[in-house]
Amino acid sequence: MKKRIVFLLIAVGLVTFMFASGRKDGQNQAKTTEVKISVLNGPSGVGLVPLFEREAEKNNLSIQMEVSSTPDVLLPKLIKGEIDMGILPPNAAAKVYNTSENIVLLAVVGKGMLNLMSLDTNVKTLDNLKGKRVFVAGQGSTPEYLLRYLASQSGIVIDSKQADSLELDFSIPTAELAAALASEKISYAFLPEPFASLAQINNPHLIRALDIQGLYQSFTNTQDSYPMTVLVGRKSFVEENKDLVKKVLKEVAAAIDYTNKNPEKAGQLVEKYSLGLKAPIVTKSIPTSAFAYSSAVDAKKDIEDLLSVFLDFAPEAIGGKLPDDSFYFN
């Protein structure tokens, strides 16, 4: 009988010890939270590429990165909860919010990097483009409407039958514009980085004919450039995880800073993780690509200035109105 009692006491003691030890480990080891982010194939994801090689579990946060081919592929995944955050053009983000309120703008991760590229050294002002045909990267997106805005502010007529009007041509895909320009098949192109740098690599005589960012600042009376790329989150996820979102945004800002300071390594990562660009092109273009982080609140005015351009020329591209304050993460 005594042996049985002793055995039971030992057994209870072991169980108690194991439970207490497990509880202690659980208390000392905080739960790791996973966040899934998708960037877009191409230049918009370059600033965040260091996150692809981020330590798997750091500061109790695991960030899983993936690449989506287009916004049309990314958005359904975001809305369905397959990813938590994603990269979009500002107008696309505004349109989704205005039509469904399913997303929140978290930060700007890329600013103005559009260039008018040409061999024509006589182009000194927008007036010099009268009567010219400019090939534009991306119909219905920021390049088109920004160029329309700049032209209108300069009193230049677009796409009319007047001899001195400016003609916009969208017939060449963005990925092929650099080659067409470098081979001198076309004379003028309005395109973003890294395609401007790619064209210059293949034809060093090409010049950045106009200071597009400076012209925009002058016409809008702003000190900063226009946002080109934003990071958004699914509204339900953001509302339920505000502290977590703030932690992720710190990682995003650090990634962009690393990209700017280490262009060669960032270029290698872009090619390694198949963002659709070659390392040498990315490395050369980073200094002129304007990868920069701004919180949604800090960037609100810049975003509204750009969206106002869309509102004037293509209101349907942003959902017909400027988003309200709830669009901006705070």
**Does residue 28 lie in a domain region?**
no
In a domain, 89, yes or no: yes
Do residues 210 and 122 both lie within one domain?
yes
Say yes or no: 119 and 216 in one domain. yes
Q: How many domains does the chain have?
A: 2
User: Are 97 and 182 within one domain?
Assistant: no
Maximum distance among all Cα pairs of the chain, rounded to whole angstroms: 112
Over residues 102-148, the pLDDT tens digits come to 999 999 999 999 999 999 999 999 999 999 999 999 888 899 999 99
Residues 120, 187, single domain; the answer is yes
- Under DSSP, is residue 174 helix (H, G, I), strand (E, B) or coil? helix
Residues 124 and 156 in one domain: yes
Residue 298 resides in a domain: yes
Asked if 119 and 206 sit in the same domain, the reply is yes
- Give residue 163's domain range: 114-220
Q: Give the Å distances, CA to CA, from 206 to 144, 145, 168, 173.
A: 21, 24, 20, 19
Burial bucket for residue 236 (CB in 10 Å: 0-12, 13-18, 19+): middle
Strand-pair category, 85-88 with 33-40: parallel
Q: Specify whether 289 is located in the same domain as 316.
A: yes
Q: Does 286 reside within a domain?
A: yes
Residues 130, 258 within the same domain? no
**Of 177, 195, 220, which residue constitutes the final position of a domain?**
220
Same domain, residue pair 206 and 238: no
Q: Comparing C-alpha atoms, which of 270, 248, 303, 322 is closest to residue 59?
A: 248
Flag whether 283 is in a domain.
yes
Render pLDDT for 143-159 as a digit per residue (tens, 0 to 9): 999 999 999 999 999 98
Q: Where are the beta strands (DSSP E) in 44-91?
A: 61-68, 85-88
Backbone angles phi, psi at 142, to 5 degrees: -55, -45
In a domain, 277, yes or no: yes
Let me know whether 176 and 304 are in one domain: no
Q: What is the secondary structure of 194-212 as a DSSP string?
A: THHHHHHHH-TT-EEEE-H
177 pLDDT band, cuts 50/70/90, is very high
The mean predicted confidence, pLDDT, of the chain is 89
- CATH number assigned to the domain comprising residue 43: 3.40.190.10
- Asked if 275 and 209 sit in the same domain, the reply is no
How far apart, in whole angstroms, are the C-alpha atoms of residue 130 and residue 208? 18
Domain termination residue (choose one: 202, 220, 238): 220
- Global confidence as pTM: 0.87
Is position 26 within any domain? no
pLDDT tens, position by position, 187-244: 999 999 999 999 999 999 999 999 999 999 999 988 888 999 999 999 999 999 999 9
- Hey, which residues does 108 pair with through a beta bridge? 230, 294
CA dihedral of residues 278, 281, 282, 286 (deg, nearest 10): 180
Confidence of residue 7 (pLDDT cuts 50, 70, 90): very low
259 and 273 in a single domain? The answer is yes
Structural domain includes residue 312: yes
For residue range 51-75, what is the model confidence (pLDDT) as tens digits?
Answer: 999 876 777 899 999 999 999 999 9
Per-residue confidence band for 28, with pLDDT thresholds at 50, 70 and 90: very low
Domain closes at, from 220, 246, 278: 220
Residue 9 has pLDDT above 50, yes or no: no
pLDDT of residue 327: 98
Which pLDDT belongs to residue 32?
57
